[in-house]
Amino acid sequence: MPDQTNPRVALVTGASRGIGGAIATRLAKNGFTVVINYAGNTAEAEKLAASIEEAGGRALTAQADVADSAAVARMWDAAEASFGGIDVLVNNAGVMKLATIAEGDDALFDSQVAINLKGPRNTMKLAATRLREGGRIINLSSSVVGLYQPTYGVYAATKAGVEAMTHVLAKELRGRNITVNAIAPGPTATALFLDGKPQSVVDNLTKLAPLERLGQPEDIANAVAFLAGPDGAWINGQVIRANGGII
C-alpha cells in the first residue's frame, strides 16, 4: 500500500510512458501525489493515472509542451491550484534524434534544443522561485555525456547543457533547502532507445555494461526515488550515472 502519510507533490515531465512513467509510478508508490506531464499521448497518460489511482495513489495528468514556456507556466499554476504546491520536479521529457554533425539538419538541432534544453530551463525557472521548502529538482541527463559516440553530438550537447544548469542552479538556490541533481542513464529499454535501431546494434549496446543487460525504466526510477526521498537529502549539485557500469 502507498504511504499516505507523505503528502508531497511531484511533477514529472514526459511521464506518459518510458522512464517518466516508471518514475511517476514509483513516486506515487512512495506516497507522492504525482502530476503526469506529457506532450500528445493522452491515452497513455490517462491509463497511467488510472493505474496509480487504482493502487491507492493520487495522480493528475497535465498536457504541456515543455518547450513552450507559457504552457509550462499554465501547467504549474494548475498543479499548484489543485494540490497547493509542488515539492519535487523531475525533468524527464526528452527526445533523441541521431545524425552526424555533418549530416544533421536545423530541424534536428532545433527540436532537441527546444525540448531537451529549453524544456528543463522553463520548468527550473519556475521551480527556482516556487518549489516548496525542502524541495528536490532531478534532471534526466544521459551517459552519452562521457561516452560521446558518433551521431550523438546534438543530443549529448543538450544533456551536457542540462548538467551545467544542474550544477549552477544547485548553487543559486543556496539558503532555500532545495537540492538539484541529475541522473544520467545509460541505454534503457524504452521507445526512445529501441525505436529504429537494428537488433544487432541493440545487442551490442546491451553488452556494453559489465552487468550485461539493458537498463529498465524501473532502474532509473529507483535512483530518482532515492534523490526525491529522505535518504537523498545530502546529495546536491551532483550527476549520478545510472548505467550498469558502461562508463
Ligand X SMILES: NC(=O)c1ccc[n+]([C@@H]2O[C@H](COP(=O)([O-])OP(=O)(O)OC[C@H]3O[C@@H](n4cnc5c(N)ncnc54)[C@H](OP(=O)(O)O)[C@@H]3O)[C@@H](O)[C@H]2O)c1
**Of 139 and 236, CB closest to ligand X:** 139
Report in angstroms how near the CB of residue 29 gets to ligand X at its nearest.
Answer: 18
**Of 121 and 176, CB closest to ligand X:** 121
Report whether 88 contacts 11 (CB < 8 A): yes
**Of 150 and 175, CB closest to ligand X:** 150
Report in angstroms how near the CB of residue 39 gets to ligand X at its nearest.
Answer: 4
Report in angstroms how near the CB of residue 134 gets to ligand X at its nearest.
Answer: 25
Query: What is the DSSP-derived secondary structure letter of residue 88?
Result: E
**Of 13 and 33, CB closest to ligand X:** 13
Cα separation, 115 vs 97, whole angstroms: 12
Report in angstroms how near the CB of residue 61 gets to ligand X at its nearest.
Answer: 10
Q: Whose CA is closest to 21, among 216, 166, 193? A: 216
Query: What is the DSSP-derived secondary structure letter of residue 190?
Result: S
- Among 38, 148, 152, 155, the active-site one is 155
Task: Identify whether 155 is a catalytic site residue.
Answer: yes
Provide the edge-to-edge strand list for the sheet that holds 58-63.
Answer: 58-63, 33-38, 9-12, 88-91, 136-140, 179-185, 239-242
User: Sign of dihedral through CA atoms 138, 128, 14, 44?
Assistant: positive
Where on the chain is the footprint of ligand X (CB under 6 A)? 13-20, 37-41, 44, 65-67, 92-96, 115, 140, 142, 185, 187-188, 190-193
Residues catalogued as catalytic: 155
